[in-house]
Amino acid sequence: MNYSLDVCWMYHDIMDLYGDKGNMMVLKKRCEDRGIKFTLDTCGIQQKKDLSIYDLVFLGGGADKEQISLIPDLLSRKENIQKAMDEKTFILLICGGYQLFGQYYIAADGSKINGLGFYPYYTDTGEQGKRCIGNIIINAKLDDLETKIIGFENHGGQTKNVVTPLGKVIKGYGNSFDAGFEGFYNGKILGTYLHGPLLPKNPEVADFVITKALQKRHPSFSYSDLSLIDNPFENKAREVLLQRFQIK
């Protein structure tokens, strides 16, 4: 069977603070290596797009200024984003994108940025400008896949009231200084503060995202259906990082 993956990167021109393009490059390469046709589309402010036609929608991170600039456009798409989720489009959210799917975000200057309100979590600002910065590793369970996710976090926002976190922190901060957990995952969306970007350091997560996206049109498709990619370098890089942080 011939498979294809249609992806829409929302606000690609302003929400790319943490090298989010690298996430798209990894998805494209891992699809093409398997003969999966990969098509990347973009959606900017005031561009008419039906997000429900895509297999995967991606929204990356940006600073407060960028987030504020896109809010009116993002909120105008709420009904269409809900339609996309209802029709099994998978959503990948990094940092600012993750925050904006919650109730609200308090910017560094104290102003309140309304989110889409799909989920009960919300994001406050760190006290006295404190930020969660540094390398981070979490233990995550993505459906049947258990994996360590490696990344870098740099966020002043403190995300709270997360009901279904992505994983348990074993090094770093996570959703907030004392959270002990990081990100959000509920089967429909994966939101995380891990960037740098996320997917080059975590090929299993990249393949998981590909799997979830393919399941929109092929519900019986499973993670194990993806052919293996023989690339010792990506695994060696993970081994080096885990050894550096003395994590088995």
Binding-site positions for substrate read 131
Q: Which residues contact 224 (CB under 8 A, 6 or more apart)?
A: none
Write out the binding residues.
Answer: 131
Rounded to whole angstroms, how far apart are CA atoms 222 and 211?
6
12 is catalytic: no
Token look-up 């690298």 returns 22
Catalytic residue among 8, 43, 95, 132: 95
Rounded to whole angstroms, how far apart are CA atoms 17 and 204?
23
Would you call 232 helix, strand, or coil by DSSP? helix
132 is catalytic: no
Strand order in the sheet with 112-114: 112-114, 104-106, 122-125, 157-160
Check residue 227 and report its DSSP letter. Answer: P
Chain centroid to Cα 26, Å, comes to 13
Which own/partner pairs from 123-127 qualify as long-range (CB within 8 Å, at least 24 positions apart)?
123/99, 123/157, 123/158, 123/159, 123/160, 124/157, 124/158, 124/160, 125/156, 125/157, 125/158, 126/156, 126/157, 126/158, 126/177
Rounded to whole angstroms, how far apart are CA atoms 20 and 9?
10
Rounded to whole angstroms, how far apart are CA atoms 174 and 132?
8
Q: Which residues are catalytic?
A: 95, 195
